[in-house]
Amino acid sequence: MSTFLAYTSPAAGHLFPLVPGLLALQDRGHEVHVYTASELVDGARAAGLRHVAALDARISDVEVRDYEARSGKRRLVVGFENLLGRGPAEAEDLRRAIAETQPGAVLVDVNAYGAAVAVQRTGLPWATTLPSLLPLPGAGIPPYGLGLAPATGPLGRLRDRVLWDLVERMYGKAMLPGLNALRREHGLPELASPLEHVLAPDRILVLTGEPLEYPRADVPANVRFVGAQSWDPPAPEPEWLREPGEPWVLVTCSTEYQGDEALAASAIDALRDEPVRVVVTLADAHGAELPGAPNARVERFVPHGAVLDRAVTVVCHGGMGIVQKSVARGVPVVAGPFGRDQPEVARRLVESGAGVKLSAKRLTPERLRAAVRAAIVKRPAAEAAAERLRAAGGPEAFAGAAEELAAGDRQPVGSAPVR
């Protein structure tokens, strides 16, 4: 049996998808240590994980404030400045965690850049855990992050080649200055491309699969698609959720604040006269001033699984966690992306047939009402997408891929996919 160290970034959306796979590893007899934000420790322990510790508080003190930027390019720069600003504390904290747990393999969250740099000096087998979409080029794969549909033919290939180069340069300008500074501090060579960082680990565990991931003919050797991993913190089902009445619409904002409460306000106004009941979960946006409606209630947190079992549709920001939970249950989604990976997630949702996209820039109650009506009739397509997503993997696939790594099967770093 092996000892695993799972080191997360301080965000619920990056811990929750790890829980099912880590429990599967633990059930197979492995010793699993998890380091996460202090406010998430009790929930992880309540889920059944035996060894959970808090990250260094200095890491959470660096808030991701990309939502304050006015342009997409500036949001990207600010987001990386904040994430990489955590780097020195993460690197020190990871070394502490390794000394405390003596792991045979290390699993590092994709947003924990300092930990990813530090682990490369240890010689330990390590993997990136990616609770989103794989940001690597490949044959027929649209440029990441722009939310573009797949294109075919010579013009489509030209579009992808030109725009992938643009995306690589854009991410490089935002990421590489801070990342290379961290690498120099740890005696590692500088990188010329952000793709080199993505491809660096012995394994990349991508916590999704088709139909949200596009089919790839040229997957790097160190990539494993392990399927969706859905988990909610243990919590009692609210009594009001069981009351008879109209079907529910779940409206939810990002678990890591990004200024998307306008989506909740528009949804309440859009659906006040529709034959539905609305529950809005605001997470870190709780306390925002919202309109009232007789068929709407606002909560900071409600277990999403319980609502999804009764929901006709979901209105969300396009975060990977809620989109995967919804698609896995066959519930159609209206995604209004505000930033980060959300435009890409929303595009994959549309391509899967399981929902519709509404630009945050065009968000109005009238447009949102029309989008909800359009999504509801997609239920059969959403149920078909659910079958495909469930077949793409799950906790046992995650555990198997992690065991490969701990057993010493360290694939050579994948060469860059076809450009």
Q: Which tens digits make up the pLDDT trace of 193-236? A: 999 999 999 999 999 999 999 999 899 999 999 999 999 888 88
Q: What percent of the chain has pLDDT over 90?
A: 83
Neighbours of 43 (CB within 10 A): 20
Same domain flag for 384 and 398: no
Whether 159 is covered by a domain: the verdict is yes
For the stretch 263-278, pLDDT in tens is 999 999 999 999 999 9
Structure tokens at 123: 């010689």
Q: What mean pLDDT do residues 82-94 have?
A: 97
Per residue in 310-345, is it b (16+ CB within 10 Å) or e — as a string?
ebbbbbbbbbbbbbbbbbbbbbbbbbbbbbbbbbbb
What is the 8-class DSSP label of residue 259? S
User: Please, is 154 exposed, middle or buried when counting C-beta atoms within 10 Å of its C-beta (0-12, 13-18, 19+)?
Assistant: exposed
- On the question of pLDDT at 70 being above 80, the answer is no
Same domain flag for 219 and 269: no
Task: Quote the pLDDT of residue 253.
Answer: 86
For the stretch 248-257, pLDDT in tens is 999 998 887 7
For the chain, give the mean pLDDT.
93
Task: Quote the pLDDT of residue 101.
Answer: 98
Structure tokens at 218: 């040229």
Q: Cite the DSSP H helix spans in 319-364.
A: 320-328, 342-352
Q: What mean pLDDT do residues 79-94 have?
A: 96
Whether 131 is covered by a domain: the verdict is yes
- On the question of pLDDT at 345 being above 70, the answer is yes
Ramachandran quadrant class, 227 (left: phi over 0; alpha: psi -120 to 50; beta: rest): left
Whether 416 is covered by a domain: the verdict is no
Residue type, 13: G
- On the question of pLDDT at 73 being above 50, the answer is yes
Task: Quote the pLDDT of residue 381.
Answer: 97
Q: Could you list the residue range(s) of the whole structural domain that residue 163 is in?
A: 3-228+392-406
Confidence of residue 408 (pLDDT cuts 50, 70, 90): confident
Same domain flag for 258 and 337: yes
User: Could you tell me which of 280, 282, 312, 278 has the C-alpha nearest to residue 295?
Assistant: 278
CA distances from 12 to 8, 16, 206, 255, 307 (A): 9, 6, 17, 7, 19
Q: From CA 42, how far away is CA 52, in angstroms rounded?
A: 8
Q: From CA 317, how far away is CA 234, in angstroms rounded?
A: 23
Same domain flag for 45 and 79: yes
Task: Quote the pLDDT of residue 419.
Answer: 35
Task: Quote the pLDDT of residue 287.
Answer: 63
Q: From CA 318, how far away is CA 309, in angstroms rounded?
A: 19
CA distances from 56 to 39, 62, 88, 92, 237 (A): 12, 11, 11, 9, 33
Whether 188 is covered by a domain: the verdict is yes
Same domain flag for 206 and 297: no
Q: From CA 69, how far away is CA 160, in angstroms rounded?
A: 27
Task: Quote the pLDDT of residue 189.
Answer: 97
Task: Quote the pLDDT of residue 370.
Answer: 97
User: Among the listed ranges 7-11, 84-88, 192-196, 255-259, which one has the minimum average pLDDT value?
Assistant: 255-259
- On the question of pLDDT at 418 being above 70, the answer is no
Same domain flag for 95 and 192: yes
Task: Quote the pLDDT of residue 340.
Answer: 85
- On the question of pLDDT at 378 being above 90, the answer is yes
Task: Quote the pLDDT of residue 339.
Answer: 84
For the stretch 274-309, pLDDT in tens is 999 999 998 765 567 888 899 999 988 888 999 999
- On the question of pLDDT at 413 being above 80, the answer is no
Structure tokens at 110: 């994709």
Task: Quote the pLDDT of residue 30.
Answer: 98
Residue type, 2: S
Task: Quote the pLDDT of residue 284.
Answer: 65
- On the question of pLDDT at 150 being above 70, the answer is yes
User: The domain spanning residue 105 has which CATH number?
Assistant: 3.40.50.2000
Whether 414 is covered by a domain: the verdict is no
Q: What percent of the chain has pLDDT over 70?
A: 96
Q: Give the three-class secondary structure for 389.
A: helix
Same domain flag for 196 and 304: no
Whether 415 is covered by a domain: the verdict is no
Q: What mean pLDDT do residues 132-157 have?
A: 94
Can the peptide bond before residue 220 be classed as cis, meaning omega within 30 degrees of 0? Answer: no
Task: Quote the pLDDT of residue 234.
Answer: 83
The number of folded domains in the chain is 2
Confidence of residue 417 (pLDDT cuts 50, 70, 90): very low
Same domain flag for 162 and 288: no
Whether 79 is covered by a domain: the verdict is yes
Same domain flag for 298 and 320: yes
Same domain flag for 360 and 401: no
Same domain flag for 367 and 302: yes
Higher pLDDT, 258 or 222: 222
Q: CB under 8 Å, gap of 24 or more: what pairs does 289-296 form?
A: 290/261, 290/264, 290/265, 291/265, 292/268, 293/268, 293/269, 295/246, 295/271, 296/268, 296/271, 296/272
Whether 417 is covered by a domain: the verdict is no
Higher pLDDT, 290 or 348: 348
Same domain flag for 177 and 246: no
